[in-house]
Structure 1
């Protein structure tokens, strides 16, 4: 009887809605988010950095697809690691993953404020940023269907302006006799691959859309089929757009030009590029598209992190209040409120600080998800391991490569990022120690039972409540 009266997340999303949600989270216009910063780091080789990042992310996306088939519930990397390696490892992974999920909305609200302020210098960036936090909070509370419709609109606006930018930049490059060679943006500069890896590590934040899709397993109509497909589609489509747009931009605006751009303009590099290829009018269009993209990505980010907090609260890792849903809207209102309050940090943080921290959390979680595939399929805690050569390749070799590449990019990040990330991880260990009586009590985890879904008849795992291991 209790199960029937407890509010449940509403299954409302199909493959198209899930993919658009992931692309909205990635925000096709996010290619301009770190455009100036990464171009300066990589000596103008942003397209090459995106290629390295996409290859790494594809291996990890395959691991996410494998894990979501086994555990199609809200929680993402936290759930996958928890079920593979136990509650303690799951909590620490989820805790570090919270870094990128908590910072992603901040990043979007920060960029929105910077772009509006670049067009209207008399308006402090904090004012539009604060307005965006409130608007996104409202959409998040009102439900996933409304959020999905909003995401479709923002993806359409962002895509239209990005396509227009590509056409204008390509026209400019074709008519410029001094334009770089077609392959030059894909070749390392004088400093070799080291700055490329640092740039690719930062760009990991651009691919968080597939992780966001995995958090919606309990709101998908056919999670076993559609979530894995949406994860791969989001990665391929988003990565392809990033590479093409950054390549065309590199042909129109020579790589060495980024060394002369003032630091304060690097944070709004999209406006610099738009004014260069299309004049002030197109610069305004770029600001409008950026605002739309930031709102969509900020909304998707808050939806995702509120579901992770909801999952951790439901398991008893965080206070139970986090694991409650609104009886009216069927959304985790308490978790959403906490996330929105934290997002207000965008009013005083800098863009590069936020970007590095997002990538730190993301790459740490990606590494653990890759290891979870190996453990869950080849060395399961319960049940028979997957056998055969194909299984060894799919569940051993591929996630092993994904793990190695993720660690490679992770270690290329700025040293200060490691200090802050390490402090955050230690704080998580402290919370876990307090929750378990300094590890004398077991860590709460979810129990999964096999049921049949009404929509497809596929067996899926459903959380039945917190257990202990």
Structure 2
């Protein structure tokens, strides 16, 4: 039905901007100190390794977007290529990821600004940001795209200014005193295991490249645009993270001298640019958190829409606003759930996120193998590399990262997963029937859904 179709208006750049906002490019600063400790200073090397790991999964997302250009992302890919039952469970896991990321951003915003302005309670900041994000997403993709463009430009501008100030200090003799240095990537005097430890943490900086696939039904020519967007987001994000951490090391090579690893970037920024630069960083960080909240809420609402339209969730979730063509019920519901940020702790909320993300990543890699290598029999030498070896490597690496999550993530994630399994039993009457699903044909769907 027409009412169940979203309006196609997004081109490559807006989709990439959504990914950058979700990923939050400026978070490279907030994780630098902890990453420097874990990697023994080789943060750029850890980012490089993390980028390599994530590129395998980004490749698989792009391959599945070519054949299932539909809202729902990992949920739809696994539903169509593996089975509706697996698709439901992956969608359930993804919901855990997407539903709690906006909450984390609201919490960070409240903590951040209540510390900067103690006279104003954190709940005022949280409610204000939540209201603004909800309004922008409810009004439609075009307004959100404009906001994402401003956020990304602001973040990149600050990063360029930071690099400029850093170069000035290094050339003047500060830090290592050299602009050419391999030690941020690899120090022969240190064990490679430090780089691996840092990469296990920093892979989470790339969460968000997959969010672009949730906008497939609102994208012009999604079969080409979405795969390109996913790879661009991953590559550019990785390049930014490596560059910032490279100059941060050369400005301040001894990570053991930070007053507090959590605020290491603030010390570095103040050192290269003074109080004015530190103040600008506060503004950039606030804008980055806002952008991530907006993009994650938009992505989550579309996964809920896909599951509601398919009948795997009540029809309430599959409705669009008659004028703006946005999944308004889901946007409002996510905002209501995010009110829990007023009472929950950051540690508890963050523990939910990573488990769902890696379940989705593993499943999409397997979906590529299932669809191309098994069902389509792409088993030539080239097909074996593209549709078995590459996604197989991606799945193995993602399983490794999943197993290395902290105990809270694994326990809370397993509980959420078990609840989804119980609901699936109810939905299928004890597996006597298949879960409801939308009958999209693989490969030719985009031609039927053009605006």
Q: Return the TM-score normalized by structure 1.
A: 0.88
1:89 to 86, 90, 98: 86
**1:399-414 mapped onto 2 (5 Å cutoff):** 399-414=391-406
Sort the Cα spacing of 1:204 and 1:319 in 2 relative to 1 into closer, same or farther, 3 A. farther
Report the equivalent of 2:309. Answer: 314
| Distance across 2 between alignment mates of 1:118 and 1:46 | 28
Report the equivalent of 2:387. Answer: 395
| Distance across 2 between alignment mates of 1:126 and 1:390 | 55
Asked whether 1:333 is paired with 2:325, we answer no
**1:218-237 mapped onto 2 (5 Å cutoff):** 218-237=217-236
Secondary structure in 1 matching 2:440: strand
Secondary structure in 2 matching 1:379: helix
Q: How many residues align?
A: 448
| Distance across 2 between alignment mates of 1:38 and 1:348 | 29
Report the equivalent of 2:144. Answer: 147
Report the equivalent of 1:131. Answer: 128
Contact kept? 1:64, 1:231, Cα under 8 Å: yes
Sort the Cα spacing of 1:163 and 1:98 in 2 relative to 1 into closer, same or farther, 3 A. same
Asked whether 1:418 is paired with 2:410, we answer yes
Instruction: Name whichever of 16-25 and 175-184 sits farther off.
Output: 175-184
| Distance across 2 between alignment mates of 1:207 and 1:367 | 15
1:75-121 Cα offsets, whole Å, 9 max, x none, are 00011111122111111111112222122212322232333234323
Contact kept? 1:19, 1:234, Cα under 8 Å: yes
Report the equivalent of 1:365. Answer: 360
Contact kept? 2:66, 2:223, Cα under 8 Å: yes
> Cα distance, 1:36 vs. partner?
3.4
Report the equivalent of 2:293. Answer: 298
Report the equivalent of 1:448. Answer: 440
Secondary structure in 2 matching 1:28: coil
**1:84-233 mapped onto 2 (5 Å cutoff):** 84-176=81-173, 178-179=175-176, 182-187=181-186, 192-194=191-193, 196-233=195-232
Secondary structure in 2 matching 1:186: coil
Report the equivalent of 1:467. Answer: none
| Distance across 1 between alignment mates of 2:190 and 2:406 | 17
2:422 to 413, 418, 430: 430
1:128-148 Cα offsets, whole Å, 9 max, x none, are 222111110110100011111
> Cα distance, 1:172 vs. partner?
2.7
Asked whether 1:238 is paired with 2:237, we answer yes
Contact kept? 1:14, 1:220, Cα under 8 Å: yes
Instruction: Name whichever of 90-99 and 392-401 sits farther off.
Output: 90-99
1:252-309 Cα offsets, whole Å, 9 max, x none, are 23343366417xxx2x554343223212211110111112222122111111000001
Secondary structure in 1 matching 2:438: strand
| Distance across 2 between alignment mates of 1:297 and 1:89 | 28
The answer to which structure has the higher strand fraction is 1
| Distance across 1 between alignment mates of 2:366 and 2:448 | 20
Secondary structure in 1 matching 2:109: helix
Sort the Cα spacing of 1:269 and 1:295 in 2 relative to 1 into closer, same or farther, 3 A. farther
Sort the Cα spacing of 1:451 and 1:46 in 2 relative to 1 into closer, same or farther, 3 A. closer
**1:234-313 mapped onto 2 (5 Å cutoff):** 234-257=233-256, 260-261=259-260, 266=262, 269-313=264-308
Secondary structure in 2 matching 1:33: helix
> Cα distance, 1:188 vs. partner?
6.7
Contact kept? 2:175, 2:252, Cα under 8 Å: no
Report the equivalent of 1:456. Answer: none
Asked whether 1:346 is paired with 2:305, we answer no
Sort the Cα spacing of 1:359 and 1:269 in 2 relative to 1 into closer, same or farther, 3 A. farther
| Distance across 1 between alignment mates of 2:335 and 2:59 | 31
Secondary structure in 2 matching 1:216: helix
1:287-332 Cα offsets, whole Å, 9 max, x none, are 1111222212211111100000111111111111011111121111
Sort the Cα spacing of 1:434 and 1:35 in 2 relative to 1 into closer, same or farther, 3 A. farther
> Cα distance, 1:356 vs. partner?
4.6
| Distance across 2 between alignment mates of 1:356 and 1:251 | 33
| Distance across 2 between alignment mates of 1:189 and 1:120 | 45
| Distance across 2 between alignment mates of 1:105 and 1:376 | 32
Secondary structure in 2 matching 1:51: helix
Sort the Cα spacing of 1:44 and 1:338 in 2 relative to 1 into closer, same or farther, 3 A. farther
Instruction: Name whichever of 426-435 and 218-227 sits farther off.
Output: 426-435
| Distance across 1 between alignment mates of 2:430 and 2:193 | 41
Contact kept? 1:78, 1:94, Cα under 8 Å: yes
| Distance across 1 between alignment mates of 2:175 and 2:29 | 23
Contact kept? 1:109, 1:298, Cα under 8 Å: yes
